[in-house]
Structure 1
Amino acid sequence: MGSTPFRGRPTVAATIAVATALLGGATAPAFARWEATPVSAHTQTETLQPEPTSPTAYEFGETLAGLEGEELEITFLAEIIGHHQGAIEMAELELERGTSPDIRTHAENIVADQQHQIEQFTRWLDQWYGLTPEEAMAQVPAEAQEEMKILEEETQMIIEELSAVEAGEDFDVAFVQKMIPHHNSGIIEFLEPQSRAVHPQLRVAATAGITTQQAQVADFRTWLAGRA
């Protein structure tokens, strides 16, 4: 799956346009205030919509689009490792509390796939740049550091909210509602390395990440629509 490389620093609109195409139109205004949807009884149709994708994810995608070469790779790898770890924590909660066989299977795949990429990306950071994920985080541009901090705080808030949901079908619904935007954020982060990473193996891994997460988002949306 290809994407169009940005030439020079793109506009916010350009970043959103590419993300919108990949997310099937499921985007939020770039600078809208992000708020989690309260978890409540899922019998109400309005609660069966996925939560919005964090606008900070779009801002971080724009930041990546303005970076080149080594700086692009290090910044992306520093962010995606933590992002994947958050998805794994969410998926492990689904395995503890969820009841849907389909959603639990997706959770198992998320743990396996994203743990594999974490190990792969951590190894590449060391091999290519002699950095640990923590060291990489410390040397990315200040703008990216601030956006990464916000994204981490949002992920932790999501995990805390999921931790407060009781086991059962309600947990399956809450997990899906929150994993869709988390995957959407990951897809946005993969865009630039997919087309412009220096190392071809990173371009391949980014393409695989987009493909896998798009497929899971489509399945999650179908499952969620079936609960209405």
Structure 2
Amino acid sequence: MRKNRISKRIPAAAASAVLALGAVVGTGAVTAPAVADAPAQSEAAASYEVGFLQDMIDHHAMAVAMSQTCLQKATHQELKELCQSILEAQQQEIGQMQTWLHDWYGITYEPKMSEGDMRSMDRFETYTGAEYEIRFMQSMIRHHWAAVREAEECLESAEHAELTELCSNIREVQLAEISQMQTWLEQWYDRSGGRPAATT
């Protein structure tokens, strides 16, 4: 994602208020898994889930915007098809995450783009042909790696099973898309895809 770590976390007081919307948690040592239409049962998990969902919505919105330019400017049909797949999947996931924020935490949230994101999109408008495809794939690979790292953290920190299932899917799908774009960069342009040593 755009930040090294998720930074938008609701404060402890807000998390406590969110938790009050759900069933009262018992005093036992083991916390039961979160249930549908209720907030996470631990304050830390509630804070984490809200921050993660908001940040991932923003992150997905950037990928959607990038994919829209790809459909207009890419020259390889294979890349256009991948961009269409990214656009459709991440739009659907944005809607799902917005629904969870509303249903679990009473939060209505719309995607936001930072000034840096908007500057990046402006730069993409200046690229054409091979330069566009190279820069697009290299940028989307970096974008995906950030999402993969955050999805892996989500698997450790989130309570809702629906959310951890989404994070597992994000990791699997985006790793496959990274591999595909790395292959195309090497085959079409003899360029490195920027493969890091690890995802964490």
TM over 0.5: yes
Cα gap change, 1:155 to 1:189, in 2 (>3 Å) = farther
Identity percentage of aligned residues: 26
Larger Rg computed on CA atoms: 2
Tell me if 1:157 matches 2:157: no
Cα shift readout 1:196-215 (whole Å, capped 9, x = no counterpart): 21110000000000111111
Q: 1 CA distance for matches of 2:122 and 2:54?
A: 23
Query: 1:59 and 1:205, CA in 2 relative to 1: closer, same or farther beyond 3 A?
Result: closer
Answer yes or no: is the 8 Å Cα contact 1:77–1:121 preserved in 2. yes
What letter is aligned with 1:57?
A: K
* Alignment of structure 1 residues 123-162 onto 2, 5 Å: 123-133=99-109, 152-162=114-124
Residue of structure 1 aligned with 2:179, choices 211, 215, 218: 218
Amino acid in the other structure paired with 1:175: F
TM-score by length of 2: 0.71
Higher helix share: 1
Superposed, 1:191-202 pairs within 5 Å as: 191-202=152-163
Q: 2:169 aligns with which of 208, 213, 220?
A: 208
- Root mean square deviation, CA, Å: 2.2
Higher relative contact order (CA 8 A, sep 6+): 1
In structure 1, the gaps of 5 or more residues are: 1-53, 138-148
TM-score, reference length from structure 1: 0.63
Residue 84 (str. 1) matches residue 60 (str. 2): yes
Looking at structure 2, the residues matched to 188 and 152 of structure 1 have their Cα atoms a distance apart, in angstroms, of: 20
What residue is the counterpart of 2:33 in the other structure?
none
User: 3-state DSSP class of the match of 2:159?
Assistant: coil
1:197 and 1:213 map into 2 onto residues whose CA distance is: 19
Counterpart Cα distance in 2 of 1:152 and 1:214 = 25
Pairing partner for 2:4 from 58, 65, 76: 58
Does structure 1 conserve the Cα–Cα contact (< 8 Å) formed by 2:74 and 2:80? Answer: yes
CA contact (8 A) 1:86 1:155 kept: yes
Equivalence for 2:134? 173
Separation (CA, whole Å) in 1 of partners of 2:150 and 2:116: 16
Counterpart in the other structure of 2:89: 113
Unpaired segments ≥5 residues, structure 2: 10-42, 191-200
In the alignment, the residues of structure 1 paired with residue 153 and residue 114 of structure 2 have an alpha-carbon distance, to the nearest angstrom, of 20
